[in-house]
């Protein structure tokens, strides 16, 4: 046997690793859900990342951190809406940052449910039927007809005394007007959790504000800088901050960008399917934010779970917040 080639194929090793053994849940005896989650730490791959995320979310609570939750609109489109509302109702979230679609879809769901659909649908036929597709969720267009009527009545009161308002005021007063315990905005208003929406016009709200201003009052406007200042100063006043970013885009970046002013967030958990290779913010992992000073550089204070949120966010909440 050629000794050189044998060394290439079976090089051997002298070092004994002192890390835990890879081992998963055995499903022996009585099932224990939390034991299952604990086993993720030594399962490997994204299960181990989720175990890290659960641990960091627990550290946030132990440190009495100001916890920011950021989410994109598809989180509210899905059944994760109820989980977000629950976290706010139970006092775990101090700041919510979301998108305009997150606001509008929360409002719609207080009166009209979204419906289960299918991924493989005839898109042209759906258009003819007046059905909008969000993945395998169907949203009939009559929901948006209702939304327009609801918002027009809301706008009359919202702009009655002040013609220039902020997105946080918009979200708060919307929440006060809603009657649904599973509404994210209602829970946020009741528990005084500010809801920031830096891209308020990027959904039906923007369309209806445009029409409303054209038809009713050219002086109405939405201003952003007051909210930005409030968000920055809130972070600077906090002793410790923790971020849980469910999805990417503007909400995630708004959270880490405003934490830059205080020297970075103390803890961060990302749940993301974004790809780092295109250089986008959506694909940027938390260690890239460290290079910008948006997250503090510690060994165990941040992690990313590369997975679709409906699969892992409920497990994170069950493991860290229940």
CB contact burial 28-51 (16+ within 10 A = b; e otherwise)? eeeeeeeeebebbbbbeebbbbbb
CB 106 within 8 A of CB 143: no
C-alpha span between 71 and 249 (Å, rounded):
9
Q: What is the 3-state secondary structure (H, E, C) of 83-142?
A: HHHHHHHCCCCCEEECCHHHHHHHHHHCCCCCEECCCCCCHHHHHHHCEEEECCEEEECH
Phi, psi of 65 (to 5 degrees): -70, 150
What is the model's pLDDT at position 268? Answer: 98
What is the model's pLDDT at position 1? Answer: 59
Task: Out of 109, 186, 294, 296, pick the active-site residue.
Answer: 294
Query: Cβ–Cβ contacts within 10 Å for residue 266, how many?
Result: 23
Q: Does CATH number 3.40.910.10 belong to domain 60-321?
A: yes
Residue pLDDT tens, the chain, 322 long: 577 777 777 787 878 899 999 999 999 999 999 999 999 999 999 999 999 999 999 999 999 999 999 999 999 999 999 999 999 999 999 999 999 999 999 999 999 999 999 999 999 999 999 999 999 999 999 999 999 999 999 999 999 999 999 999 999 999 999 999 999 999 999 999 999 999 999 999 999 999 999 998 899 999 999 999 999 999 999 999 999 999 999 999 999 999 999 999 999 999 999 999 999 989 999 999 999 999 999 878 999 999 999 999 999 999 999 7
Q: Which residues contact 208 (CB under 8 A, 6 or more apart)?
A: 147, 148, 151, 152, 155
Q: What is the pTM of this model?
A: 0.96
What is the model's pLDDT at position 29? Answer: 96
The two tokens of residue 108 are 């719609």
E strand residue ranges, the chain? 66-71, 95-97, 115-116, 131-134, 137-140, 164-165, 195-196, 221-222, 241-246, 267-272, 302-306
C-alpha span between 269 and 69 (Å, rounded):
10
The two tokens of residue 51 are 């175990």
C-alpha span between 272 and 247 (Å, rounded):
5
Provide the 3-class DSSP secondary structure of residue 70.
Answer: strand
Q: Which residues contact 105 (CB under 8 A, 6 or more apart)?
A: 73, 76, 77, 81, 114
Query: Which among 47, 54, 96, 51 has a CA at the least distance from the CA of 76?
Result: 96
Sign of CA dihedral 37, 42, 46, 51: positive
CB 232 within 8 A of CB 261: yes
Checking DSSP bridges between strand 66-71 and strand 95-97, what pairing results, if any?
parallel
C-alpha span between 103 and 23 (Å, rounded):
42
Cα 121 to the chain's mean position, in Å?
A: 27
Q: Which residues contact 319 (CB under 8 A, 6 or more apart)?
A: 34, 37, 50, 51, 54, 57
Sorted by where each begins, the domain ranges of the chain are: 60-321
Clarify whether 294 is annotated catalytic: yes
Phi, psi of 145 (to 5 degrees): -65, -45
Q: Which residue has the tokens 């369309």?
A: 207
């Amino acid at each position: 046997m050629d000794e050189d080639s044998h060394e290439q194929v079976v090089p051997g090793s002298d070092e004994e690793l002192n890390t835990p053994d890879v081992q998963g849940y055995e499903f022996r005896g009585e099932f224990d859900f939390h034991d299952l989650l604990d086993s993720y730490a030594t399962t490997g791959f994204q299960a181990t990342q989720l175990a890290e995320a659960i641990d960091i979310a627990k550290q946030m609570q132990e440190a009495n951190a100001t916890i920011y939750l950021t989410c994109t609109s598809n989180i509210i489109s899905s059944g994760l809406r109820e989980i977000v509302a629950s976290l706010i109702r139970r006092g775990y979230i101090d700041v919510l940052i979301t998108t305009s679609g997150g606001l509008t879809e929360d409002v719609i769901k207080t009166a009209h449910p979204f419906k289960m659909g299918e991924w493989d649908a005839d898109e042209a036929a759906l258009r003819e039927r007046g059905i909008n597709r969000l993945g395998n969720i169907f949203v009939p267009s009559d929901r948006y007809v209702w939304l327009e009527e609801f918002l027009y009545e809301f706008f009359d009161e919202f702009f009655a005394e002040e013609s220039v308002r902020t997105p946080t005021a918009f979200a708060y007063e919307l929440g006060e007007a809603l009657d649904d315990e599973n509404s994210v905005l209602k829970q946020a208003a009741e528990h005084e959790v500010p809801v920031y929406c830096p891209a308020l016009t990027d959904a039906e709200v923007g369309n209806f504000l445009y029409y409303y201003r054209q038809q009713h009052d050219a002086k109405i406007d939405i201003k952003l800088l007051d909210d930005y200042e409030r968000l920055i100063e809130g972070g600077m006043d906090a002793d410790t901050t923790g971020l849980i970013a469910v999805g990417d885009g503007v909400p995630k970046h708004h959270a880490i960008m405003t934490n830059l002013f205080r020297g970075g967030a103390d803890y961060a958990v990302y749940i993301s399917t974004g790809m780092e290779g295109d250089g986008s913010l959506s694909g940027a992992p938390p260690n890239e934010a460290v290079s910008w000073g948006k997250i503090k550089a510690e060994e165990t204070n941040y992690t990313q779970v590369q997975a679709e949120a409906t699969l892992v966010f409920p497990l994170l909440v069950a493991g860290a917040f229940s």
